[in-house]
Each structure stands twice: as structure tokens, then as C-alpha cells.
Structure 1
């Protein structure tokens, strides 16, 4: 018979091995411990400081993807959203004479408005999220090409100075990411809006039964996701100064991978935003380590896909193995204790 201590240990191992939120913290610590051994110098100050802004951009973009996945969707408009935000903040001042502050606001607010349109199409018109976001991605990429006239523009000096600067030795981009991820995590976990978003993600029918306006909260999730993509695009543009027009394509798979590694299920429900931010750090450091080892970018994408596939398989296999073990334990006969062995049936003779 399994003791309570053994049962608690089984539950802990099941959570870790099935890709729960705690697993990515352990994996990230292990990766940073392993990095200087595999690639000496990979954790020197310069490489780490250069890596952190890209981790910040991925972390913020992954927040947006998390909000959509929490509502049992999958946002394929990430490349277009981030390219749209980048072209707004760079082309509007350079090509159309906008002030930098107005372009920054537009690059955050307009992707949010596009996200709201995605939410309306999904909730009010019943179109599948994959179809909506894939179509919107094509529209946004066309818009990017039209606004930029096919030529990348440079970031405003104000934004470039801020994104490349540091506060107390910490890159400003990372500080912005910490604020965004922490605020989003607080809202989803502690606020009424967050609890209702979680309830809608778990079960639309149950949420509607208790009076939650399901469609409104789903639209809100898509709008907040667009805002997150806009913030990520603004930071990326400021840090690299002149981003490629379609740089967002390299962020689609990593955002999904970060969400899954962070512990948010693809079937919706609870959103583990803080752990998603840690997963973004893990993926960025993994990419830097692979580049130090000489892996080309296609193989790095294969490695990310392998990590994603491994976690998804673990989430399916570990619970199945745990159920099979519990079933075998339930069917196995209980051993006779010494006390029960001494008790004899009534009327027995020696």
C-alpha cells in the first residue's frame, strides 16, 4: 500500500515531468550552469547583457500568445503583429513626419486594435482562431510592405537611446519586460478580470452559467495580446535600430514554445505568465548557446521544435503512465498484516 509520503512524491514528480511551471525554472538554472561548461565564455558579461534584451522581447510577445492560448486559441498573427508595430514606430517618424512619442503610442495601440478585431471575428462571427489569425497575419504583412515602401526604416533616436541604455547595469528592455510580465501575471492571478479570463478559458459554458460575458472577455484577451506584441515590437526596433521588415516570422514558434514550457496548457485554462517569461529566458539562452557551438539558425529552430515536442509528449505520457500505475496498484491484492494473520475465523480449530 502506498504511503502518504510516497503519494506526495509521486505528485511532485508528475508535475515536474509533465511540464508544469516548476520544471522550466529547474531547466533554466540547469542550462545556465551547463552553458559555461559546454561553451566557455558564454556567460561572460558581454554575451549575457547582449542576450537579455532579446529575451525581454520574446517574453513580452509570449505574454500575448499566452492570453490567446488561455482562451483555447493559437495566434498565428504574431509575425504580422510584430512587423506592424515595428514599421509604425520606425516608418511613421521617418517617412511621414510623426513625432517619436506619437509613433510609439500608435505602435502599441494599433496592434491592440487589430487584436480586438481578431477577437470580434472569433467570438461574434464564430470563425476559428487559426483561420482568423492566419488571415490577419497576411493582411498585416501586406500593410507593412505598403507603409514602408519595401524599405526598412530606422528607429527614432529617442527610442534607440532608451532601448540600448541600462539602469543600474540592467538593460532597460529587460526592466520593461519584467514590469509587463509581472503586471500581466498579477492581473491574471489576483484580479477579478484575470479570474474571469481563467474561468472562460476553462469552460465557456460554466463561465456563462455564472453570469460572465464570455465573448467580451475573449475579445479582451485578444486585444491585450495585440498590445503585448506592439510593446515587444517597439523594444526590438529600438534595440536593433533598423529591424528587417518581416523579422516577426522568427518569433512565432518561440512564443508558442515559451507558453508550453511555462506550463500553460494548449487546451486553455490557467495562464502561467511568470513561468512563461522564464521560458523566454531559457529559449534565448539556448539559442545563444547553440550559436556559440556553431549551429546555424535552421538547426536552432529544429532544436526549439524538439523541445516543444518533448514537453507536449511528456504532458501526455506522464499522466497516462501514472494512471496505469494507479490502476495496477488498485488491482494488486493487499498483503496480510501480522495482526490480521493472527485472527482466525470463528469456529476454527487448531
Structure 2
């Protein structure tokens, strides 16, 4: 089989923004335009300045969730992954800046390793991703409680400074997220690895017939997702300075919401990490509006759930309408063909 078959040729940065991304970009721009009407001050520079780091963290988590959903799974270990990363990046250095590198390395590689285990269990043993990742989440929180004994650690001065500072006016957390977004978007859209991940998400049996190693690439998706959660947890730990041991809990539902809003097919295959990242910005700004309007924090979860429900209903309705239209068009063509053949001269 030609490994390059079906791959887009050449690289154009704007080609990464086609398809489902356009819809969520338009929705996000519209949300920012109406934000001053819904909650005055929610689009002021201080408000946006404080919102962007959290949007960056959610974008990283959404990228990981997108990679898993692309392989027809759901990752419920997001809270445990992020919490463990936050604990490792704070507990291992233990306020010693000279050991921060060890904490950062562990915060990224350990969640990636646990993601690898989840991936092997799902792809090789054919276990259900929901059950596997839910169990993995419990294991991860077990490690969190064992390491901390219930007492959170504080971030080192170097980590706090890095996450709070800016480069050229851009928060460092956002800069890290942008780098990860561009790299993974390029890999998933413009490389053989990305094409194979898409092919396996669309139809694993067909991918096996084509000679693709499904277990290897599906496992890779879970491991990469774990690394994304680890980066997000480490950055969040530095930003909040003293992260609680359940710091990852609020990010599970938003990560799924971002994936759905970004247009990733829940049946697998079609996915866009850029669309999911923009959706993360949309959701974070939506939360800003909710809080600025004086609604309780619990309302955020209600709003996010309603957003997911509405988007799924609209998407399913549009899909059914388009499918019905395609069937009618096919039927019309089939009916017209005998008449055209009858009119044709002998």
C-alpha cells in the first residue's frame, strides 16, 4: 500500500482552519461581540487577561480528549491525570527551583505512561474506553492521595513566575498551548500518522485490512492525550500556586463539550484539534459571562450541559435532513435513468 495515498500534499497553514473550525470560530466571534450586552466588563482587557490562561489549559485538555474521541472512545481519566500532574510538578521539587525540571518531566511523562496503559487495555484487550478510563481515574486519584496524604504542595517560585509572566504580551500558558495546538494539528492533518489515526477512527476493521497497526496507533492516541493532560495540569498548578488535590475535577465535562462543539465526530474518525481549541475559548468566555452576570458557579455546568445537548440535537437533525435529501436525489436519478435510455436512439 502507498503510505502517502490519501494524504494532503503540501502545507498551507490556512488549510488547518477549514471545515468544522469555521463554524466554531464564527460562534466564538459572535459570543465576544454580544458579551458586553450580556455582562458588561466581560470583554475588558483585565477580564480577557485573566481568562486566557484558563482557556489555554482547557484547550490542552480538549486536544487530548479529541485524540481519544477520534478513536471512538471517551476519556474519563481527565480529572485524575490533571490532578496527578499538578501534584508531581509541586511535590517532587518541594519548593526547590533546582528540581523543577524533574517535576515538569514527571508531570508530562507519568500521565502519558498511564494513558499508554489505558490505550493498551482498550485497543489490545478490546475493553470499553469508558470503563477503562473511569477505573484509571480512580487509580490516579489513589496515587494523588498517597503522595500528598491529603495535603497539597505549593508551586515553586520559578513555576509561578513562568505561568504568570508574558512574552510579547502573550501569557506563557497560552504560548505553550499554541505551540502544542499547532504541532498536533500539523501531525493530525498533514502527516501519515494523522491520516492513519483518521482511517482507524473511521473504521478499525477497514484499517486492519489496509495493513495499519490499529493497536499501535490507538495506544499512541491515548498516550498523547495523557501528555496533553499532564501539560495542562502542570501549567494550572503554577497559575493557581497551591493546587488542591482535586484540581482536575472541573475539566471533564468542559473537555467533552469542547470536542462536541468543535465538530469532532463522536463515532470516530473526523476530528479537528484547532476546532476543539477554539471551542475551549468559547466555553471559557461563556463561563466568564455566567460569573460576571452574578450567577452561581453551578450554573456553569448547567449551561455547558445544555450547550452539548443543543449542539448534538442540531447536528443530528442536520445530518438526517441531508441524508434524506441525498436519498431523494439518488432516487430521482434512478427514476430518470430508464426514461433517458428509452429516449436514446437505437
Q: Which interval holds the TM-score relative to the shorter structure?
A: 0.7 to 0.9
**For the residues of structure 2 that align with 1:114 and 1:327, how far apart are their CA atoms?**
45
Question: 2:148 and 2:288 mapped to 1: Cα distance?
Answer: 30
The 2-side partners of 1:199 and 1:97 are apart by 44
Distance in 1 between residues matched to 2:63 and 2:141, nearest whole Å: 21
Please name the residue that 2:335 is paired with.
none
Deviations along 1:312-340, one digit per CA (max 9) or x if unpaired, are 111111121234456667889xxxxxxxx
2:177 counterpart of 1:177: yes
The question of 1:190 aligning with 2:225 is answered no
Return the alpha-carbon distance in structure 1 between the equivalents of residues 180 and 329 of structure 2. 46
2 CA distance for matches of 1:71 and 1:330? 31
Unaligned runs of 5+ in 2: 1-18, 333-346
Structure 1: state its 5+ residue gaps. 1-18, 333-350
State the distance in 2 between where 1:117 and 1:230 align.
15
CA contact (8 A) 2:97 2:158 kept: no
Aligned counterparts, 1:297-312, within 5 A? 297-312=297-312
Provide the C-alpha distance between the structure 1 equivalents of 2:85 and 2:247, rounded to a whole number of angstroms.
Answer: 11
User: 2:245 maps to which residue?
Assistant: 245
CA deviation profile, 1:283-340 (whole Å, cap 9, x unmatched): 00000011000111111101001001111111111121234456667889xxxxxxxx
Equivalent residue of 2:94, what SS? helix
Instruction: Name the residue aligned to 2:202.
Output: 202
| Alignment match, 2:287 | 287
Q: What residue number does 2:275 align with? A: 275
TM-score (ref. length: structure 2): 0.87
Higher Cα Rg, which structure: 1
8 A Cα contact 2:85 2:108, kept in partner: yes
Task: State yes or no: 1:223 paired with 2:226.
Answer: no
1:60 alignment counterpart:
60
Q: CA deviation at 1:20?
A: 3.5
Q: 1:216 to 1:305 in 2, by over 3 A?
A: same
Match of 1:118 in 2: 118
TM-score, scaled relative to structure 1: 0.86
Shift of the 124–328 alpha-carbon distance from structure 1 to 2, 3 Å rule, reads: closer
Deviation at 1:244, TM superposition (A): 1.4
CA distance in 1, matches of 2:51, 2:28: 14
Shift of 1:98: 7.8
> Contact conserved, 1:92 with 1:98, CA < 8 A, in 2?
no
How many residues are aligned here? 315
Corresponding residue for residue 336 of structure 2 = none
Are the equivalent residues in 2 in contact too, given 1:51–1:288 (CA < 8 A)? yes
Question: For residue 16 of structure 1, what is the aligned residue in structure 2?
Answer: none
CA RMSD between the two structures: 1.9
Deviations 1:188-219 (A, max 9, x none): 00011111111111111111111110100000
Report the counterpart of residue 12 of structure 1 in structure 2.
none
Partner of 1:345: none
Query: Whole-Å Cα distance in 1 between the matches of residues 44 and 30 of structure 2?
Result: 17
Name the CA shift for 1:325/1:220 in 2 (closer, same or farther; >3 Å).
Answer: closer
Question: Measured at CA, do residues 282 and 330 of structure 1 come closer, stay the same or move farther in structure 2, by a change above 3 Å?
Answer: same
The residue that corresponds to 1:34 in the other structure is 34
In structure 1, C-alpha distance between the alignment counterparts of 2:167 and 2:78, rounded to whole Å: 29
Structure 1 residues 331 and 183: CA distance shift in structure 2, 3 A: closer
Q: Does 1:151 align with 2:151?
A: yes
Deviation (angstroms), 1:271: 1.8
